[in-house]
């Protein structure tokens, strides 16, 4: 177990230190785990979340068609007509991404909203890096607001038997949704402060962009609707979301072929799929699977139980803030999956209702990924988009937005959830 922890820790330090080489470091570390036998070769494929991979590939293809249609430029024009400064535009884009992410997977949200932000930044000549980072962290925040917003929320709802409305009102109190929105209000104020120097006035009076084809927009909107509807299906394949995105991308390609009859134009969207981001995610999935196989995650869960002792408030505090710290470095899905049954046992041993522990786990694990560039798939995707546009994202660029945003979102949720569910 100790060698696995050391290799994992060193790889994360290297990924933070050498951001340009993250995909190669992740894939190399994954291969090292396999060669050393820390993860059986036969188990490697089972650690990969194919739903996320397919969803990223399909949505990137849809977004390429969407960008080609010039719709992002038109949306950027409309935003510029409604807001007066760069600061207001940045906050509005982050809030817009958050609203979508409450109902659609975080990665898909970033892929859909980022092109609009890029078009907006090009129009008024500003650096898009903080815009895209703000969109990514806002997407991660709102993923915990509803039952369908994030995989961790879906897992918790399934384990506890919660319905969609239970996230709004549960056991006689306002639910998780309001805890997240409380954090969203404060984090929006933090974004306004972080963008306080961007007071430049947006240009006015320009002619609106003409959209060349509305079909890609309908396909992208259709993806959002279908992803929401699919979340309500009680039984469905694990790769349902990925299949939806890939199927709509295929429809878009067929439509383009019928419309343009140009092989080069058919192949063009495939070039926009960011295979480096996909490679990074593949490597991370196998790395996390390896440390899970080595018992590292179980060890972390046991350590949390010991730290919490017999005090419900101390247990709750440990769960929230340890989850923030742990999820900053490892994917929150295996961690939450491991902790859900542990929390049930804790509630039984303490003789208390574990609801506040469950919600504290969800809040901390969902938001902890905003602390580092590699803490959440949405962050990795956003940075990948910027890299393809020729921008380098330094760790400091991410930390100065991600860390204060995380604290602003977690602290009010931490207080609210204890007041609502922890005090009997």
Which pLDDT score is estimated for 206?
A: 65
Which pLDDT score is estimated for 98?
A: 86
Rg (CA), the chain: 21
Exposure b/e, 332-365, CB count within 10 A at least 16 = b: bbbbbbebbebbeebbeebebebbbbbbbbbbbb
Report the candidate in 295, 289, 330 with the shortest Cα–Cα distance to residue 40.
Answer: 289
Angle between helices 151-160 and 355-368 (to 10 degrees): 170
Which pLDDT score is estimated for 331?
A: 66
The one-digit pLDDT tens for each residue of the chain (424 residues) are 888 888 988 987 888 778 678 788 989 999 999 999 898 888 888 888 787 788 778 877 887 888 788 787 787 777 777 877 888 888 888 888 888 788 766 777 888 788 888 888 887 788 899 999 999 999 888 878 877 677 678 778 767 777 778 888 888 889 999 999 998 889 889 888 888 887 777 666 667 778 888 898 899 888 878 877 877 777 778 788 788 889 999 999 888 888 887 777 777 777 777 787 788 778 888 887 888 888 877 776 677 677 767 788 998 998 899 889 888 877 676 677 667 777 877 787 777 888 999 999 999 988 888 888 877 778 888 988 898 888 888 888 899 999 999 999 899 999 999 999 986 5
What ranges make up the beta strands (E) of 154-313? 169-170, 173-174
Q: For residue 418, what is the DSSP state?
A: I
C-alpha separations of 40 from 30, 51, 330, 385, 408 in Å: 11, 22, 20, 33, 41
Cα gap 56→50, rounded to integer Å: 10
Which pLDDT score is estimated for 64?
A: 81
Which pLDDT score is estimated for 301?
A: 67
Report the candidate in 424, 381, 375 with the shortest Cα–Cα distance to residue 402.
Answer: 375
Q: For residue 208, what is the DSSP state?
A: P
> Scanning the structure block, which residue is given the tokens 């899905």?
333
Cα gap 309→330, rounded to integer Å: 25
Which pLDDT score is estimated for 199?
A: 76
Cα gap 287→38, rounded to integer Å: 10
Which pLDDT score is estimated for 419?
A: 93
This prediction has a pTM of 0.72
Cα gap 209→141, rounded to integer Å: 32
């Amino acid at each position: 177990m100790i060698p696995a922890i050391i290799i994992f820790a060193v790889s994360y330090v290297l990924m933070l230190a050498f951001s340009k080489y993250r995909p190669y470091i992740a894939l190399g570390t994954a291969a090292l785990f396999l060669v050393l036998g820390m993860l059986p070769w036969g188990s490697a494929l089972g650690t990969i979340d194919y739903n996320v991979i397919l969803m990223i590939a399909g949505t990137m293809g849809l977004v390429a068609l969407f960008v080609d249609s010039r719709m992002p430029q038109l949306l950027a024009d409309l935003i510029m007509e409604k807001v007066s400064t760069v600061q207001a535009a940045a906050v509005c884009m982050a809030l817009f991404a958050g609203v979508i992410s409450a109902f659609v997977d975080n990665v898909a949200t970033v892929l859909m909203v980022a092109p609009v932000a890029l078009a907006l930044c090009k129009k008024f000549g500003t650096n898009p890096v903080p815009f895209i980072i703000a969109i990514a962290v806002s997407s991660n925040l709102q993923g915990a607001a509803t039952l369908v917003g994030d995989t961790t929320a879906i897992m918790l709802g399934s384990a506890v038997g919660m319905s969609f409305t239970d996230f709004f009102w549960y056991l006689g109190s306002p639910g998780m949704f309001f805890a997240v929105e409380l954090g969203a209000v404060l984090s929006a104020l933090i974004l306004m402060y972080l963008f306080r120097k961007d007071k430049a006035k947006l240009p006015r009076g320009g002619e609106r962009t003409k959209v060349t084809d509305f079909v890609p927009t309908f396909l992208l909107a259709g993806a959002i609707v279908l992803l929401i509807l699919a979340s309500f299906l009680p039984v469905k394949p694990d790769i349902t979301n990925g299949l939806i995105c890939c199927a709509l991308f295929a429809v878009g390609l067929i439509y383009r072929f019928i419309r343009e009859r140009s092989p080069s134009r058919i192949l063009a969207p495939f070039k926009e799929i960011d295979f480096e981001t996909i490679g990074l995610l593949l490597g991370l999935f196998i790395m996390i699977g390896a440390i899970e196989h080595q018992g590292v995650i179980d060890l972390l869960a046991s350590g949390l139980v010991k730290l919490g002792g017999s005090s419900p408030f101390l247990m709750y505090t440990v769960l929230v803030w340890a989850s923030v710290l742990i999820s900053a470095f490892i994917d929150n899905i295996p961690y939450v999956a491991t902790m859900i049954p542990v929390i049930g046992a804790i509630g039984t041993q303490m003789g208390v209702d574990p609801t506040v522990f469950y919600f504290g786990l969800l809040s901390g694990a969902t938001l902890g990924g905003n602390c580092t560039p590699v803490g959440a798939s949405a962050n990795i995707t956003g940075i990948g988009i910027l890299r393809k546009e020729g921008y380098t994202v330094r760790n400091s660029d991410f930390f100065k937005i991600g860390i204060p945003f995380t604290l602003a979102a977690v602290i009010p949720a931490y207080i609210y959830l204890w007041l609502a569910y922890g005090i009997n």
